[in-house]
Chain A
Amino acid sequence: MNSEPADPATISDAVSADPKAPRPVRVATGDEHPVTSPLSVHDMTVAYHRKPVLWDVDFDAPAGSLIGMIGPNGAGKSTLLKAALDLIPKASGRVMVFGKPYRQQRHLVGYVPQRESVDWDFPVNALDVVAMGLYRRIGWCRMVSRRHKQSAMQALEQVGMADFAKRQISQLSGGQQQRVFLARALVQDASLYLMDEPFAGVDASTETAIVNILQTLRTAGKTVLVVHHDLHTVRDYFDQVILLNMRIVAHGPTDEIFTPDNLKKTYGGRLTLLDRAAHAIARQGET
């Protein structure tokens, strides 16, 4: 009845605490990438009209971590997520999810697109949108059953939106819309989540709610890669950072990587200019 793809994971995995994550398959990849990583991007280059947007991006996401992807506007952060998910073509490179090509592992990956990417006047309510996360599990040509609606409802409760289940989505605030998107990802029960600016334009209470959910996901052994903008909160929210500006400037544990030096490299002259301004103002204050 349920056409959910057979889960290869039967033996629990020492690396990942998530019991749903499949046991890594040992393949001789011929390079230094650990095959157990939830997400390995190998030498990925993406170009729009011959102009490269991402250049030779190469990283592994450690299992069970919250990863913040930071970089200036136009650094290619969203492009990286989309290219990894086969939504836009890659000029070169491979994306492996738990040691296998992404195409074979779609069911393990949850995606939260940018809120502006959809038409919020679309005639559906919050519950319908959340249930969309289950469509793969429900299977082609089958109806959304009451059981599916119940799990969608649970996801809405998790993000504190149960009271708005029947609300048409255009009548939700920006923060509420973002929570609905998050609930839709939760209901997918993925092992790896890619989120495109979930904190953009949300109110403080939604931001807290999202952070709590990210931490719950990490506790459950999931890996979450988040495109993020607010440099102030990076240290509080993420264990790992990827600093991106067309290329990966640096990636690794937040404590080691999130340094003024690396940020300057990532943001180029822009941050330096700000720094200089800050210095100037500070000196003025002293005299």
Chain B
Amino acid sequence: MDWTSLDTWIVITGVLSAMSCALVGNFLVLRKMSMMGDAISHAVLPGLAIAFLISSSRGSITMFIGAAIAGLITALFTQWIHKFGKVEESAAMGVTFTALFAIGLILIVRGADKVDLDPGCVLYGAIELVPLDTITFLSLTLPRAVWILGSVMLINILFTLVLYKELRLTCFDPALATTLGINANVMHYVTMTLVAITTVASFESVGSILVIAMLIVPASAAHLLTNRYGLMLAMSMIFAAVSAVLGHISAITVPTWLGFADTSTAGMIAVVAGLLFTCTMFFAPHQGILSKVWHRLRLSLRIASEDILGKLYRLEESTSDQPTLAQSAVFPANKWISRLARADLARTRKITRENNTYRLTEQGRFLAMQLVRSHRLWETYVAKHFDLEVDHLHDSAERTEHYITQTMQQDMIEELSHVKTDPHGKKIPDQPSSEDSIVDPKQKGGQA
């Protein structure tokens, strides 16, 4: 890897641009208006073109005013078309931004001789050229884009910090905000103006299409990672910065592995952001796919284990003099989850295994009694309240038994006036007071 000061400036520009976008992107994601980022990033084009034609310069201030107005118009038109045209909001957005984008393209092509604005550059950006265009301000010579993006990021950070709770409220509950005197509409349009300004600032570096990835991806990933508002804002910015750094490094290294020259940094930033998002989707602590699969697996394992304990307990009740129980008799369904459950039960010493025969330990019997008690209490309870045939009770109890707590057991036994047997005539096991006091239903002091 051949790192020069050019690369440093490209990375700094990328990081500033990604972080500014990520911060305002949070409000788009939280208000479920992600498409608005798409719309605004395209619709600012006529604003830019008109600003160029009027001032015939690439002076930043005119550019930003043009973009801010175009952004505001997009948000307003979308609302109006949605409201008065009886059109769905996303359709209203589609109508507005494509029309505005087209006007912008026509203006650029028409006025092409007067303005040095390249449509390709607008779409994809040219972050690689950023370090060449420098401005000296306060005796500091920095790339122009760094000055601009730095200021925009500062504005965005100040905006989010100063109006921290107002933004949170207007995103969460605009109606309440308005009744409290915080006008949610005004806040919405101010936010959209900031989105427009941020988009334009990032244009030169990453273009109008990739900027959408920068607005939406970090915030969406952060939303998966945390359920705290402040943390989400912070995490989205970290995510954005990491994507930008890794994006540039990949842009100059990955293609060389395959024997090509380096590739577009802006493109790679978006690709890395996408990859990181995919990882987040899988590995996020609570909402990630893996975590959900893991929790489901844990639940299945618990249910399978409890079913095994219950079966062993019932067999102990019915067989007269055999303290050990054969595998085949106990586990007809030899599913992998059942095997896993058996292994787990043996490991935690709830059952013992000798030559394919299983037996409950004291600890296992304690849990088994609890479970069977829940099962039979539930059957009795359901039989009391619903006019069901006795053979209809088992299935419901088989499902419910795993979720009945001791408090629920207590409530049921009190309501059932301390009943001793279930509707099938089977004994409801007593509440075992502690693990030590358990006795084998037939054989006192069965060995562990």
Binding site for B on A (CB under 8 A): 49, 82, 85-87, 106-107, 109, 111, 113, 117-119, 122-125, 128-129, 132-133, 135-136, 138, 140-144, 168, 170, 184
Contact (A135, B173) CB under 8 Å given A128-B229, A141-B162, A168-B227: no
A263 to B179, CA, bound (A): 32
What residues on B are CB-neighbors of A111 within 8 Å?
175-176, 179
Which of B171, B172, B180 is the one whose CB lies under 8 Å from A136?
Answer: B180
Are B228 and A123 in contact, CB atoms less than 8 angstroms apart?
yes
Are A144 and B165 in contact, CB atoms less than 8 angstroms apart?
yes
19 CB-based A-B contacts, threshold 8 Å: A49-B84, A49-B86, A87-B178, A106-B179, A106-B181, A119-B32, A122-B171, A123-B223, A124-B172, A125-B228, A128-B168, A132-B165, A132-B173, A132-B176, A133-B176, A136-B180, A141-B163, A142-B165, A168-B227
A285 to B67, CA, bound (A): 75
Are A122 and B172 in contact, CB atoms less than 8 angstroms apart?
yes
What residues on A are CB-neighbors of B175 within 8 Å?
82, 85, 87, 111, 113, 117
Which of A117, A123, A135 is the one whose CB lies under 8 Å from B169?
Answer: A135
Are B164 and A143 in contact, CB atoms less than 8 angstroms apart?
yes
Contact (A123, B179) CB under 8 Å given A140-B166, A141-B162: no
- 17 additional contacts (CB under 8 A) given A86-B179, A128-B229: A82-B175, A106-B180, A111-B175, A117-B173, A118-B173, A119-B172, A122-B171, A122-B172, A123-B223, A123-B226, A124-B227, A132-B169, A135-B166, A135-B180, A142-B165, A168-B227, A170-B227
Binding site for A on B (CB under 8 A): 30, 32, 84, 86, 162-166, 168-169, 171-173, 175-182, 223, 226-229, 231-232
User: In terms of DSSP, what is the predominant structure of the interface of chain B?
Assistant: helix
What residues on A are CB-neighbors of B163 within 8 Å?
140-141
A122 to B27, CA, bound (A): 11
Which of A85, A124, A142 is the one whose CB lies under 8 Å from B179?
Answer: A85
A178 to B163, CA, bound (A): 27
* 7 smallest beta-carbon distances between A and B, as pairs: A168-B227, A136-B180, A111-B179, A123-B227, A123-B229, A122-B172, A118-B173
Are A122 and B30 in contact, CB atoms less than 8 angstroms apart?
yes
- Nearest chain B CB to A146 CB, angstrom units: 15
What residues on B are CB-neighbors of A118 within 8 Å?
172-173
A212 to B178, CA, bound (A): 28
A227 to B163, CA, bound (A): 33
What residues on A are CB-neighbors of B227 within 8 Å?
123-125, 168, 170
Are B172 and A143 in contact, CB atoms less than 8 angstroms apart?
no
Are B32 and A143 in contact, CB atoms less than 8 angstroms apart?
no
What residues on B are CB-neighbors of A140 within 8 Å?
163, 166, 182
What residues on A are CB-neighbors of B32 within 8 Å?
119
- Nearest chain A CB to B324 CB, angstrom units: 45
What residues on B are CB-neighbors of A138 within 8 Å?
165
- Nearest chain B CB to A265 CB, angstrom units: 31
Are A124 and B168 in contact, CB atoms less than 8 angstroms apart?
yes
A135 to B176, CA, bound (A): 10
